[in-house]
Amino acid sequence: MFTTDQKSNRYNPFLRPDKIGVAIGFSDPIFRRQSKEKHGVEIEEDMQTAAIEWTQTVFSNNSHGWEDLAFLRKHWPGPIILKGILTVDDAKKCVAMGMQGIVVSNHGGREVDGAVSSLAVLPDIVDAVGDKIDVLFDSGIRCGAAIAKAMALGAKMCLVGRPYIYGLVLGGENGASHVIKALLAEFQLTLHLAGITSCNSRDLNRSRMVMQSYL
């Protein structure tokens, strides 16, 4: 049974005091020290307060902008791949700011009714910056055919956001591995049935796609 407070926040596991979603924070020595200094007790003595504190630490509600990329570049020598790009202008800005890759994705777009689909904007973004930066794709990959479509439209690779998690929950490491293998098998089968000999852009490209509207 949920308490009244848990009922109002049951969509957010990070607010649960029973360590669901907060195990990383509760085991982190720095967070534990800061929490004790602030509240005067160990985490285990007031787990509800600690859960709220960790949630506010992870989701600080700070806005981020393009200026933050300069900070990242200064403190991170490795490649930076920026996720959530949906316009040509933003893709060009990523190139100008020295990003190594972008992920065309409307992740979070579910919060905006009628947001553009990632697949719809992918071709224009690839045409604009595909020769200057690695273009990856995310959003709605649930089968091998979806991977084939995205790559045919110019994506260099696809991110699998949720299916592997389903496998992980149901079967642990073997479950996650099975999902990845199934996606790969579906992808290969899609290419074979379409008479496409490889995933190289010479064989898998827009000439294999037919755009249809059902409106």
Catalytic residues: 107
From CA 49, how far away is CA 62, in angstroms rounded?
Answer: 21
**Strands laid side by side in the 134-137 sheet:** 81-85, 101-104, 134-137, 157-158
Q: What is the CA radius of gyration of the chain?
A: 22
From CA 136, how far away is CA 58, in angstroms rounded?
Answer: 26
CA distances from 214 to 42, 210, 211 (A): 59, 13, 10
